[in-house]
Amino acid sequence: MKTTQATKEVALTAVLSAAYAAAILLLVIPSPTGGYTHIGDFVVFAAALLFGYKVGSFAGAIGAVAVDLFTGYPRWFVSIPAHWLEGLVPGLAKNKPFTLQVVSCAIGGFLMATTYFVVNVYVKGLALAAVSYARDLFVQAGISIVLALTVVKAVKKALPPLK
């Protein structure tokens, strides 16, 4: 049986969605807006940079929603665009120069954090939304970007065909 590119992308998305969900649950820091901050987003960034925007965006959306439903996060529907964008933008920088990959991850992290911020302003007010925004942007996205770039470099070194 011949394996198509689409079949590989679906399989990778399933595996990386599960890996993302597991990585989120490793360290969950409650947020003042009722959500949580975590460093699992490194899986979304790494998936996007290694396998492209389709795998990165769908692994981000599916993995985040799975955890939201598992943990009872009431605004799970916000995670779909937030983490889809977080995987989409870096995925467009697959196989591009390192600087462009860093910038694309920063933009993806910014879009994720900003999506939650806009919703949180209406749900919890500006003060709590601002605290959560800073954590999402600098802790969740920032640390995840550093981890992802390290993982991507190691994977490409260990598995040269992924270059």
Q: What amino acid is encoded at 54 in this protein?
A: K
DSSP 26-53: HS-EE-TTSSEE-STHHHHHHHHHHH-H
User: Which CATH architecture fits 5-162?
Assistant: Orthogonal Bundle (1.10)
Residue with tokens 């598992």: 70
The whole-model pTM stands at: 0.94
Assess contact for 46 and 151: CB atoms under 8 A.
yes
Tally of CB atoms within 10 A around 130: 15
Lowest mean pLDDT among 54-58, 59-63, 100-104, 159-163: 159-163
Residue 126 C-alpha from the chain's centroid: 24
pLDDT of residue 1: 60
Using a pLDDT cut of 90, give the percent of the chain over it. Answer: 83
Residues comprising the chain, all counted: 163
Q: CA angle 104-108-114, nearest 5°?
A: 140
Residue with tokens 């605004």: 75
For the chain, how big is the Rg over CA atoms in Å?
15
